[in-house]
Chain A
């Protein structure tokens, strides 16, 4: 168990502050549990999107004296575990949080599978679960089964729809033709997205002149990219994961892929993606997006860099932070640690977050970015649902800096 040293620090600081103002009082504690990968295949994503936001939020809340729970200030004590990207491990640890540590609230897990695996347990103990990094088309069925589960990052279909809209617009503008080259990583989410895209793209009158998959962890993507190049399509779409989104960009640069629309899915929005290829990936599209010009987002990003020392990613980071803000406002709004009351509060109210005002309709929030684009060093949202500040899509024009 790693109890955050940070908590102690913040607690001491806050206590000192209170003492100075002459309002010293015994600090009550509210326990928060968080389980997500620190090792294993999903750790790469979790240390970018999940963990830094938990750290940031806990530190900020504690710095201002903790949560106001019905008139009592309560400092957050964070209990965190590594699930090793293993669902069996995650389930066991979730039980541990509930039974041994007896935490008051939990941070929803990282990854679709883990949210679904943990939902029955957290549901049984009544914890509200505001899932962020979980994208599925089965939200209705899942939220009906687990009424404590909330979704905030959109559906598989919304994801593919964003890309389809861009393709249709660019076809109308004459930038691309009917031909699309599409590749996908042969793993759960990649397969699911590609499958949905095949239907939606074909319905929209596109022709997949190149449609190939590659196994997860393929080190050499040059045959994939050569094939896409030979197809002559002016639009390239890749339903890819973190390692291969990078690998594909690298190959596109080497092959000098001649397209007007280039899209790769997960991890394109990571700051490391921009750092790796600089100006060469200007106008590359990817999953996610954010509106950096929004003052709330800008302040959040500055605090993220300041506290964690890392640039926030341009997608789910803000949603993850917003989910924590929802939890915060629900606990303070309900004025109690009672889980059922807080869960009901989440269903009935709207929340003022960095992502704007969020509300839940049948436990699903319809405010999220689906497609973003690297534009002069910043990954900006170009397509989204319920969000403001989308910028026009630009055309990809070569791979030189």
Chain B
């Protein structure tokens, strides 16, 4: 695709710089900005977008969009576009995205004679199903089947907090007090933790680690919360799976959407060309090829529809309507907050009472935010 762009723009050479290593992309890219060696165009992920947007490193793309008749922002999912928005400024054009959804293993549901998740199901329905799908294996305790596979990674469990009406931060993103320690958040965390500690329908971290396999993929967990990226593995494993929205206790379901877009360096010397490249890469033509692997869903409505051939894919698209971007797109030190959330959950599973752990973490989050 790069060579296609080069072919259409004679004399232009696109140099791709990959940054390997988990967690290395943001520090490396920031250092390139500090050294004034940052690229003209870069990937911007929702989960850390704020670090770049709120430090004034990116170009507001609104003038480009307004003056370019060949570009229509309406072609993209609005909820996905808005992740990189600040008021009337827009800092990235989305490439692709995934809402976080619930996967379920149809075979395990059928075997346990449990009905598949229905539209508008709530947390009680979920718990009842999870209990029915949990099978203790007395001969081999290590081979127990779980109702749900739980991964203690805050980006995956934040929708549970939202669905109870709780949240992590105040709407302006400045503090956690009154939100993270609200009754609703505590109730959500209590529910999540009880799946592991009280009902044992989900494995503890060490139980999951000791299994040595992905419990859902191994057919030993009936449900799993994840994004579109897992679909590749599930399909290649030949798992007969369904996709559902997370259960909800609120009026309408809620989830989080993670997106990845292209942004332009504010101090680029090739503004027009950079915009051409962003437009090209996010165009329907290129997107059709880019997302064919199945890692994520194209942010172009047309392309997304093109691939939404089955029920699973359609559930993902329907989820967009109920999805909002992560705090990381709006709050700079949010990666630290997510670490604190993971540690809190670990403490709770290890026996710390939920209210104590939540209040302690709430204080730590506010301490962190005050240092900005």
A and B: bona fide binding partners: no
| Residue positions of A touching B, CB distance < 8 A | none
| Residue positions of B touching A, CB distance < 8 A | none
